[in-house]
Structure 1
């Protein structure tokens, strides 16, 4: 495991485009449906319990949160999507900000899409996958909460997701992941290392 991630620290929260930091360092972003385990995954990858905010209430990540791994590399936690109870205007604001970031950010090296393994490939997931695929953005999928189902069921879901991606001609790698059991952390690190230039 790359020890550099242990030093990751919070930098800033961005609520609108004009607040975005300069495009000076390599960035890897994390996206996913509300309550898919995105913040928990970031914490596990950085071996810190409270780095990214974890909430039992979906939709609490309302900004792009930037975390510096070191002076040359940053992780970005995007607002969770698909939370129906969020006000319409707020959902529209999130969508506009996320689309601008993913579509225009020149120093963005890849997107980790976080999905609950029990509910993978929702309509929102497909929309984001297709959108990023059309823009040539490297994609890696974390099927989180793998500890919630049996090993056999997890392996079967992984195969189904891989098959669905091939059928849809979406170029994305995929793996199972468990924050609780630290399953898949090293595999995810290998992807991040390649994107961020370690």
Structure 2
């Protein structure tokens, strides 16, 4: 009976089959698609970003991360390299998350189905929570904290500080915001509330130093 292959006796993994090399190349490819897909959108100025600013920023971040992963896969030692193992769950769940985001972030009539605009207020946490289940190690309590935390960060950085015109509130809720209060103030109130929700959930769901447990 043949002996099992151990890490010391396993054959080396070719560079083209390493997960970091393939994953990094895919990330760079997707970043290029995002960049060229946003060519027709206006970038705007430093104090007034246009709709093409966010896709380009995301493309640069994704491309840089993918290039770093690609180079790491090329130079890493053979003992540390991992082969690419194709699985159905991660791309399927990520596809569902992206599909939900595209359907409900702005809403619209897509022929056989019509969806309401829910904005980042609803779609942000929902997308992060669903996408987190792409990994088998996902834990719902960790994902729900991350969902509100990342949404608060996106609202702060892109919507408030950079002024990227993203739909934040559901249509009915946005229509109900008093003009005297204003949409900008409502966005700031929302990410402050989400930050507080994140801190509260983390304190409640996880063992925080100094917190007494019954």
TM-score, normalized by the shorter chain, greater than 0.5: no
Q: Could you state the TM-score of these two structures normalised by the residue count of structure 1?
A: 0.24
Q: Which structure shows the bigger proportion of residues in strand conformation?
A: 1
Structure (1/2) with the larger helix percentage: 2
TM-score, structure 2 length as denominator? 0.23
